[in-house]
Each structure stands twice: as C-alpha cells, then as structure tokens.
Amino acid sequence: MQKYESLLSMTINELFNAFTDIEFQANRLIKMKVIDEQHLRQFDERSEEVRVQVLKLDLSEALNEELSELGRIDCDFMPPIHFGHKVLNVLTFGFYKKRYISKEREIYFKGEINVRKQLFHHAENQLKEI
C-alpha cells in the first residue's frame, strides 16, 4: 500500500512539473515573433500527454468537458482564402496573400496556445485544492 501511495505522489509531482513545463513553453511560444513549427509540435505533444492525464484524474465535470472538447493543435493550419482576399491578392501582386496567411496562422497558433495554458493553469489550481 505504501508503495502505491509513493507512486501516486510521484505521478502527481510529475504532473505539476508538466504544468510548469507547459506554462514555460507557452510563454516562450507566445513571445516568439515567428512561431517555430518544431517547438509548436513539441508543445502540442506535451499538452496532449497532460490533457490525457488530467482527464484520468477526473478533477471536475466542467474541466473534463472542456478538456475532452479540446483537440490537438493543427500545426499545418492554413486559413481559408475568400473571394475578397483573392481580389486583394491580385491587386497587390501576391503580397496580401502571403501577409494574410502568416498573420492568420499566428493568431490561430497563439490562440490555441493561450487556451491550453489557461485550461492547464485551472487544472493545476484544482489539483492543488485536493
């Protein structure tokens, strides 16, 4: 029985370390001017591991619902280009499309990173209360 308790506390300690790691990675990614795809993939993998662990802990109904709805980050995200964007692209000889895509990807990635950071911070606070 004592062995099981030490294993459980080690797992919880590892989870707290993972929360700290995710927060550090999220802050680093958000501060980047251009998000590095390799760092983004590492963050996505780490956040998925933590998401699964938090779901297994079953801390609260609302948190479980939010985490189960949360999917992976689409690292190959490309924003849709509508007719108006195509017209502006033709008028600017392709400059608009390049700028539009990079800006929309940055908005998407930073938004997804922020959502995960906030959810895991909330999960960490709930775990501390237990």
Q: What pLDDT score does 9 carry?
A: 40
Residue 86 lies inside a defined structural domain of this protein: no
Q: Is residue 71 part of a domain?
A: yes
Indicate the number of domains in the chain.
Answer: 1
Could you tell me if residue 81 is inside a domain? no
Residue 32 maps to a domain: yes
Q: Is residue 46 part of a domain?
A: yes
User: At residue 12, does pLDDT exceed 90?
Assistant: no
At 27-49, the pLDDT tens digits run 999 999 889 999 999 999 999 99
> Is 102 part of any domain?
no
Contact status, residue 113 vs residue 74, Cβ threshold 8 Å: no
**Assigned domain for 48 exists:** yes
Burial class (CB in 10 A: 0-12, 13-18, 19+), 126: middle
The rounded distance, in Å, linking the Cα atoms of 30 and 39 is: 11
Query: What pTM does this model have?
Result: 0.83
Which residue range is the domain that position 37 belongs to?
2-76+113-129
